[in-house]
Amino acid sequence: MSAMGHGGIGRGGGGGRAVGGQRHAEWDGSRPGRGSRLRNLKGLLALIRPYRGRAALTLLALILGTGAALAPPLLAKEAIDAGILRHDVNALIITVIAFLASALLVWSMTWAQTYLVGWIGQRALADLRLRIFGHLQSLPIGFYESRPTGVLISRITNDVEALDTLVTDSVVTLFQAGLTLLGTVAILLYLDPQLALITFCIFPFLLGGSFWFRIASASAFRRTRETIGAITGNLQETLSGIRVVRSFAQEQHHISAFSELNEDNREANMLTVVLNARYFPAVEMLSGVAIGAIVLYGGYQAIEGHITVGTVVAFVAALSFLFEPIQQLSQLYTTYQSGMAALEKIFQLLDVEPTLSDAANAVKLPALKGEISFQRVCFSYGGSSGSLALRDIDLEVPPGQKVALVGATGAGKSTMAKLLARFYDPTSGRVLIDGHDLRSVSTASLRRQLGIVPQEAFLFSGTVRENIGFGRPEASLEQIEAAAAAVGLHEMILTLEGGYETQIGERGAQISAGQRQLIAFARALIADPRILILDEATSNVDLQSEARIEDGLRRLLAGRTAVVIAHRLSTIRQASRIVVLEHGSIVEQGTHDELIAAGGRYAELYADWTEDVGQAAA
């Protein structure tokens, strides 16, 4: 159904690049403010909230594991001062046993936190993917007509994947590095306050560097998310249209366009590489300077007898615990920026409110008779400020009548079909079925009694049987075969190697356009709708196939209300009524013979069509 009325090549997206290589603008290009970042963090915590019990166990494992990991410097001091220097073997053995116990505790707690964080993270991300997918299912058709599919795919794949590291490794790093940093500061102050104060003099330089890195890297990581989204969008569009690319020999053009997007992504990532190359070696250098200063001053103090050798060794050992978490937290900010940029894109998508939703008091449609009524309907794709695609449409269709909509491209035919299927709501006026305003009924109960065959018969990868039974998954093979036979498809299916179990490939690539359209007819028939919408459903079918499905179409339409949009005017000559649209307004209506006799707009269209057919035949 989503294929009905989609725009042509290059519709949607952003800036000014040729078809197949355009830059796709986001629907919200504004930079996230502090409130937005806070909202994103709350959203991230909300993902973890259902698993807060295991999160508490993870935090406990982190505390115990970090405490055990900080023990070696203090144990080394005891081993040297109380064991080695005093030649006390028992003290040395006890210290070694304590070493082994701390190592065992670190191992067990690390295993626990790794497993728990992975368990929580994978479930949280699976929940997020499902939430995004469910949200996409709720958005109206108009949303997809103005957004590149590849960018939407990037939200649920690349951006969620970017969150994986943030939700799993980064959460552990944040707590572990924070606890390690606080514990190390306490240990340094315990060992020797004077040496600790000397060490802390380097903190302003570290904080200044971290602040610079934060500012410089924020936009860089946001840019990397945008460029990877553009690459995904371009890739999806190019591969979907590969036949068109080959037909017009535009492979090199698309390679050049993809190369440009790829270069944009490389440049964006290289900026983050340069920032990392400047910042992290500087932290390493500062840590080396600090250790050198402590060895020099602490060694002098030990020589003078003011502190013990064990204290100097423990202090130097503890310094590695001081600078390592600082580096980890700085690296965490890199991951944080990348993850938050991805999270911002995801929440921009989740913030898009469905413009079409069931009213709070929506009722379920009863079994339909099939009466259709357009009452002074006006519609604009741009809302109240846009130009009107339909103007004051009044149309009554009795149950069981076959009405054909004709007119030039852009006359409003497909727009009327979209309003009838409630892909959009009228800007003004009402669309009613059996006297029910479509805005007052549940969309699901409406769609269950509608059958739509679009111009492009979109088929899913799978079998012939699965595609015919798409709208009625519980249908038996006998019912599927009956529907196929009704549209003249059964015999053709039996000639396929696997019959009804034949795999038709992505979008039905393994079968012809005519066969795909016939399957779409059978898919509509098996749902047994009361109202059928055929949106130029035979325009992609060759004349031989069209002739073969005429009987099937008559059976498909028998006893049902039908709205038929046709480019080939031969398919609507037997319509109960033909409605002619021009510039969004109904200009005339009647039977084929009546309109030909009137010599109006329909007669002109029919004359042009017969001339085109004659030229094509010649």
pLDDT digits (tens, 9 = 90+) for 508-552: 667 777 777 788 888 888 877 888 888 776 665 555 656 666 666
* pTM score: 0.63
CA distances (Å), 410 to each of 196, 430, 513, 582, 583, in order? 77, 21, 25, 8, 7
The first and second tokens of residue 72, run together, are 């070696």
**Least confident residue range of 2-6, 280-284, 530-534:** 2-6
Q: Which has more confidence, 336 or 52?
A: 52
- Coil, strand, or helix at residue 496? coil
Helix, strand counts (H, E) of the chain: 22, 10
From 136, 174, 169, 170, select the one nearest 155 (Cα to Cα).
136
Q: What is the predicted pLDDT for the residue at 429?
A: 92
Per-residue pLDDT at 16: 33
pLDDT, position 543: 58
Position 614 scores a pLDDT of: 59
Q: Which of 455, 454, 457, 460 is nearest to 505 (CA)?
A: 460
Residue 241 and residue 124: Cα distance in Å, rounded?
35
Q: What's the mean pLDDT when you consider all of the chain?
A: 79
- What is the rounded distance in angstroms from the CA atom of residue 439 to the CA atom of residue 443? 8
Which is more confident, 406 or 472? 406
Distance of alpha carbon 18 from alpha carbon 201, whole angstroms:
57
The residue ranking higher by pLDDT, 7 or 261, is 261
Per-residue pLDDT, 8: 31
Reply yes or no on whether the pLDDT at 606 is more than 70. yes
Percent of the chain at pLDDT above 90? 9
Per residue in 180-202, pLDDT (tens digit) is 888 888 888 888 888 888 878 77
pLDDT-derived band at 233 (thresholds 50, 70, 90) equals confident
Lowest mean pLDDT among 64-73, 247-256, 578-587: 247-256
Output DSSP code: residue 568: S
pLDDT at 287: 72
Chain centre distance of CA 3: 19
Q: pLDDT value at position 258?
A: 86
- Judged by average pLDDT, the poorest of 25-34, 69-78, 432-441 is 25-34
Residues 458, 499: contact at Cβ < 8 Å? Answer: no
Contact call for residues 394 and 430 (beta carbons, < 8 A): no
CA distances from 580 to 379, 430, 499, 599 (A): 17, 20, 42, 13
Sign of CA dihedral 300, 304, 305, 307: negative
Average pLDDT estimate for 121-144: 83
Average pLDDT over residues 474-485: 85
pLDDT digits (tens, 9 = 90+) for 541-592: 555 656 666 666 676 677 788 898 876 676 677 788 999 999 899 999 998 8
Domains of the chain: 46-350 (1.20.1560.10), 370-449+531-618 (3.40.50.300), 457-528 (3.40.50.300)
Task: Give 612's pLDDT tier (boundaries 50, 70, 90).
Answer: low
Is 563 in contact with 533 (CB distance < 8 Å)?
Answer: yes
Backbone angles phi, psi at 203, to 5 degrees: -60, -40
Residue 20 has pLDDT above 90, yes or no: no
Residue 210 tokens read as 């971290």
Q: Which of 11-15, 307-311, 370-374, 567-571 has the lowest mean pLDDT?
A: 11-15
Beta strands in 288-442 (DSSP E): 372-379, 390-397, 402-406, 428-433, 436-437
pLDDT at 26: 44
**What is the average per-residue pLDDT within 325-354?**
77
